[in-house]
Amino acid sequence: MTWHTSWRCAFKSPRVLLSALIPLVTLIGCGGGGGGRIDIEGPFADNLGGTLSGLVGSRLTLQDNSMTLSQLNGPAANGTNLVFGIADFNTSYDVTVATQPTSPSQSCVVANGTGTATGSAGSASNVTNITVTCTTNPPRFVYVVNRGSNNISAYTVDATSGALVAIASSPFATGNLPVAIAVDPTGTYAYVANQTDATISAFTIDRTSGALKAVSGSAFTTGPAPTSVAIDPTSLFVYVTSGNGGTVSAYSISAGGALTAVTGSPVATGTTPSSVTVGYYPDTFFVYVANQADDTVSAFTANGSNGNPSGALIAVSGSPFAVGSGPRAVTVDPSGQYVYVANAASNTLSGYNFYNNNLGTPAVLSGSPYTTGTSPDSVAVDPLDNFVYVANEASNNISAYALGAGGALTAITGSPFAAGDGPSAVAVDPTGRFVYVANSSSGTISVFAITGSTGALSAVSGSPYAAGSLPSAIALSD
């Protein structure tokens, strides 16, 4: 068999590959029981290639006309001489963005994406000048739940300075004892866990003013004493942990933001689950739950058909896994590879690679566990995957680390950095320029600028900003 071809593929879409894998086949000399030769002459399509830059988020999807091309994830996808798809000879192509990336939210544009594939049989004329450029959408709004005043403080964000200005109609009422908040990756909905009521308050976000409006049917019933809420990267599902129930519940997000329980929900976790987060790596959705009372993390997959999330949770073999003492918070880095757990009782931060051992026992990251301040209650990774920040509630400060090769952490010079009294939650803005901290005891929000080269923190002018009573969680929206 001889195969003459020059085309190549660097993408995964089966529909794209199909047109490239049907070359002309000529069968010669197969009669009379003799031997034969199959000549496969190609190529029969041009590569559609070029450069991708600025991608930080996940699930950027390109299309040619109406046909889905490659899905691209994270900074590792950036580069030159990439192949986004193919176009059959003598056909027109029109490469555009089908789905913008999320986590963080970004806007990507395509240049030089239109033309005609001009190659001919046996001689490709590959397209190499398509450029895809992505920029991160700056934060527009910050939302803080106040468990002492049963409401949400809402602010607009100055994208240049990071400074906050209270929204005119803020605060917004929630249920009783709100302890957690999450905003979906599209910035359309916000969900709040109300611990006393065992409900989830759902809100639509006014994309102009940042004001919140209750979704029809809100609040939605959940398990007893909900402790945490998270949303998957596709904005299709919400996950809520029940501290007293020892479970995590899954809900689909309906049109308008209403929640509907996923079939088979809730599922068991460890004892007293305190935090939930969602990651994506590679082509697989994972949900992780920190179980405070039995010192474990539960791990689940949430995939349905064709790599898309179904919402339903399936426990990873061996789950739950032992971690540090009193795990209070869990998060996944933007690459989806590394999981970090804040252990409130042992004053440490544990790091793991859950995917390294083919979803078996997670591999401990080099140097883990890492020393924190006293009673670490919250952990966040910057969207550029450079730094990790931990809020230490009892020592009133923020531990900061540089994220290195293999997910290993190194304390940043000057860490820890002073915050307000009782910092209970920390978040990094989508551009990786600012850190926001909810100080529970002082009823304020501290805002810090990140020194890009080192990760060190410095308070912005005007910080701290007044919040409600006992602010306990924080979320940002673009």
Tell me the domains of the chain and their CATH numbers: 2-135 (no CATH), 138-477 (2.130.10.10)
Q: Position 23: which residue type?
A: P
pLDDT in tens, 79-111: 999 999 999 888 999 999 999 988 888 899 999
Confidence of residue 358 (pLDDT cuts 50, 70, 90): low
In the predicted model, is pLDDT for residue 14 greater than 70? no
Per DSSP bridges, beta strands 127-136 and 409-411 are unpaired
Confidence (pLDDT) at 377: 97
Check whether 280 has a pLDDT greater than 90.
Answer: no
Q: Which residue has the higher pLDDT, 71 or 343?
A: 343
Prior bond to 362 cis, omega within 30?
no
Dist. CA 195–CA 175, nearest whole Å: 8
pLDDT at 103: 81
β-strand partners of 332: 339
In this predicted structure, what is the pLDDT of residue 361? Answer: 72
pLDDT at 191: 98
User: For position 359, what pLDDT does the model report?
Assistant: 57
Which stretch of 16-20, 92-96, 113-117, 295-299 has the lowest confidence by average pLDDT?
16-20
Q: Out of 88-92, 108-112, 190-194, 328-332, pick the least confident.
A: 88-92
pLDDT value of residue 46:
86
Q: Which of 62-66, 99-103, 306-310 has the lowest mean pLDDT?
A: 306-310
The per-residue DSSP string of 247-292 comes to EEEEEEE-GGG-EEEPTT--EE-SSSEEEEEEEE-SS-EEEEEEET
**Per-residue model confidence (pLDDT) at position 452:** 86
Examine the pLDDT at 439 and tell me if it is beyond 80.
Answer: yes
Q: Return the sign of the alpha-carbon dihedral for residues 58, 432, 378, 437.
A: negative
Read off the pLDDT band of 307 (50, 70, 90): low
Q: What is the pLDDT of residue 409?
A: 97
pLDDT of residue 282: 67
* pTM assigned to the model: 0.84
